[in-house]
Structure 1
Amino acid sequence: MRFGKITSEVFVPDGISPQEALRRTTHLAVGAHQDDLEIMALDGILACFGRDDRWFTGVIVTNGAGSPRAGLYASYTDAQMQAVRRKEQRKAAVVGEYSAVVFLDYSSAEAKDPQNKEVVQDIQTILEAASPEVVYTHNLADKHPTHVSAALRTLSAIRRLPEDRRPSRFYGCEVWRDLDWMADADKVVFRLDEHENIAMSLVGIFDSQVIGGKRYDLATMGRRRAHATYLESHEVDVSQMVNFAMDLTPLIADDSLDPAAYVRAHIDRFAEEVTHAIAKLSGQ
């Protein structure tokens, strides 16, 4: 299996061939950076954990060279950080019992370049080999441009597939912008109560980020707990850990839908909900 970068890699924790590992995949996530999968796609990881009939595969688009660093990692070069982050992602794949992790190894600039078709082609190659039922990526309202780029490249790759080879569900998930702003009717709610110890370990494995200056471990678990409590104002909590997603499935069911207009419709519904409540409670 060939990808655009000679430095790309398919890591398979249990040692079977990359082709077999992709073929058994049922849930697939495409993230921009190492550790994005563990933050945004825990629903897919837990759906497959400890099972032989479901398998999770992750795709990392970029090489992770530009991450902030402090402490032990303060003096690390970009090349050293790339090596460390790839090693951490492999560890996460072992702990989470992934089928495979594919490192595409593009720079952030390459991933963000809309003229770079190699990224789309690589993701398409993986999708064709895996035929996953569910695909997770970043939500299109994420504030990190590389994340939005990864989501758009994933959308383009899926749209290249024949309709009968496309996933049945396609979700845009939370990393660099929460989705609690969406109208409740638009939210996809992932209830993530099982295996909290595994969930904590998966984010904590990325020591270069946690000790390097970003407490993603605490922030990710805190966000999930906050979502679980603040989801319903007039009911007791029914979950302890929750993530939200934007349902992107309509974008792969109808290729004529514009991604920007699709997200704008979500924003408009949120704005309408807020302004309607203010008008009603103001007696207008």
Structure 2
Amino acid sequence: MKFHQPNAELFIPDGSPEAEALRRTTHLGIGAHQDDLEFMAFHGILRCFARDDQWFGGVTCTNGAGSSRTGPYAGFSDQEMMSIRRQEQNTAAVIGGYSAMIQLDHPSSVVKSATEQGLKNDLKEILAATRPDVVYTHNLADKHDTHIGVAVAALLAMRELPREQRPKQVIGCEVWRGLDWLSDEDKLLMDVSNRDNLAASLNGVFDSQIAGGKRYDLATLGRRAANATFFNSHATDASTQLIFGMDLTPLVEDDTLDVADHVCAHVEKFRNDVRDKLNQRLGKI
């Protein structure tokens, strides 16, 4: 495959031929940064782990140059940080048994641009080669601009594919904003209980971020535990680790739907629910 950035790479952990590794991919994660896949798309990784009939493929869109860095990584240059983050991501792909790991190496400024087409075209080529059943990407209410850029580029790429090549399910995942606010009937529930060991192994690979000043490993498992416990106030916990997702499938099935309107409808539903509950207690309803 030929990508827009000269330092983009395709890594295949088990050494299979490129065409085979791409073709066998059933679950594809499209994340902005090295470590996003492990934090947001663990459901897909777990569904495919140690199986030969389902395979997880990963795409990381940015080059990692803007990473925070303190402690042992405080003196690292952008180039050194890019190199170590790439190595960490490939190590996670080995641990998780990914079918393929693609690192597109785009600068964040390109990903956030509304006019640059390189990322969208790269993703379109990957999607056409893999034809996954399920795609995991960032949710449309994420507060990180680069995450939104990746999610929008992924949706536009899927919309440009022939309908028979589009994924059956597209899930927007939690990273830089949880989805607890999404109405319960609209949440996609992804149970990842009882595999904390695998989750910890994957999360812990990214030492440049953890020792570099961000305890993503603890925060990620903590959010999943909180989701499981606080999901239902009137029942015992059915899960110990739960990831919430936003269903983006309608935006891929129907090209006429407005992307911003889709997520804002969820926000408005949350607003109305809060207002109605308050008004009931105030005797206004």
Give the TM interval when normalised to the shorter protein: over 0.9
Q: Structure 1 length as normaliser, TM-score?
A: 0.99
Mapping of residues 163-182 of structure 1, within 5 Å: 163-182=163-182
Please give the alpha-carbon distance, in whole angstroms, between the structure 2 residues aligned to 1:204 and 1:217: 6
The CA RMSD measured in Å over matched residues stands at 0.6
Aligned twin of 1:33: 33
**Mean alpha-carbon deviation: is it higher for 111-120 or for 207-216?**
111-120
Structure 2, unaligned runs of 5 or more: none
- Whichever residue aligns with residue 17 of structure 2, its letter is S
- CA positional deviation for 1:5: 1.1
Is contact 1:46-1:194 (8 Å) kept?
no
- CA positional deviation for 1:282: 1.7
Q: C-alpha deviations, 1:207-248, integer Å up to 9, x for none? A: 000000000000000000000000000000000001101000
- Whichever residue aligns with residue 225 of structure 1, its letter is A
Other structure's SS at 1:271 match: helix
Aligned twin of 1:118: 118
- CA positional deviation for 1:20: 1.2
Please give the alpha-carbon distance, in whole angstroms, between the structure 1 residues aligned to 2:90 and 2:252: 30
The answer on 1:225 being equivalent to 2:225 is yes
Aligned twin of 2:282: 282
Aligned twin of 1:193: 193
Please give the alpha-carbon distance, in whole angstroms, between the structure 1 residues aligned to 2:103 and 2:180: 30
Is contact 2:142-2:176 (8 Å) kept?
yes
- Whichever residue aligns with residue 165 of structure 2, its letter is R
- CA positional deviation for 1:192: 0.5
Is contact 2:32-2:60 (8 Å) kept?
yes
- CA positional deviation for 1:203: 0.8
Please give the alpha-carbon distance, in whole angstroms, between the structure 1 residues aligned to 2:175 and 2:243: 10
Is contact 2:26-2:54 (8 Å) kept?
yes
Aligned twin of 1:259: 259
Other structure's SS at 2:6 match: coil
The answer on 1:11 being equivalent to 2:7 is no
Please give the alpha-carbon distance, in whole angstroms, between the structure 1 residues aligned to 2:56 and 2:249: 19
- Whichever residue aligns with residue 170 of structure 2, its letter is F
The answer on 1:141 being equivalent to 2:109 is no
Aligned twin of 1:22: 22
Aligned twin of 2:80: 80
Please give the alpha-carbon distance, in whole angstroms, between the structure 2 residues aligned to 1:256 and 1:194: 41
Is contact 2:27-2:134 (8 Å) kept?
yes
Please give the alpha-carbon distance, in whole angstroms, between the structure 2 residues aligned to 1:5 and 1:172: 26
- Whichever residue aligns with residue 81 of structure 1, its letter is M
Q: Percent identity?
A: 52
**Mean alpha-carbon deviation: is it higher for 75-84 or for 180-189?**
180-189
- Whichever residue aligns with residue 153 of structure 1, its letter is A
- CA positional deviation for 1:162: 0.7
Aligned pairs, how many? 284
Is contact 2:194-2:240 (8 Å) kept?
no
Other structure's SS at 2:274 match: helix
Other structure's SS at 1:57 match: strand
